[in-house]
Amino acid sequence: MPITDVSLDEGASITHPDLVDLAGCRIGAGARVGPFVQIRPGSRVGARCKVSSHSVLGPAVELGEGVFVGHGVVIGDQETGASGPTRIGAGASLGSRATVLPGLAIGRGAMIGAGAVVTEDVPDFALVVGVPGRVVGDARDRRGLEPHDPAGRLDEVAAG
């Protein structure tokens, strides 16, 4: 798999360079890219990010500093980037197999649950789950989701 026209900042690492498809992108200082990752032209991976295996960053994806991308995550349009940039805010986390549609913005510190499909912009520190993704809480709330669930939505979320 090819690596072409890639800018690696100091301390950035690609764990298995022969097992990635990277083109026309920039990998920030201290960032780590796992095997079987595809990053398309015009994308930027911020400092200290981790992009886990089998993930795909389409054209014009921007990961802020310290973003965690779980296994098998798909972000943005895979071909053209025609919808404009897809931005993931600093400190956000995307669970395994999550999908973020092109041209959206995920707020800083937001947490996207495994398997969620994000179809609209996500505010800072939002906790998003489901298909389509919906905000069910605040990622800063260490007590759990209960304070954000006055309508009993947690039972619906748990039921799938």
Contact 51/70 with Cβ under 8 angstroms? no
Between CA 110 and CA 149 the distance in angstroms is 18
Q: Which residues are catalytic?
A: 71
Contact 17/35 with Cβ under 8 angstroms? no
Length of the chain measured in residues: 160
The partner residues of 134 in beta bridges, in order of sequence, read 129
Q: What angle do CA 19, 25, 31 make, to 5 degrees?
A: 70
Between CA 97 and CA 43 the distance in angstroms is 19
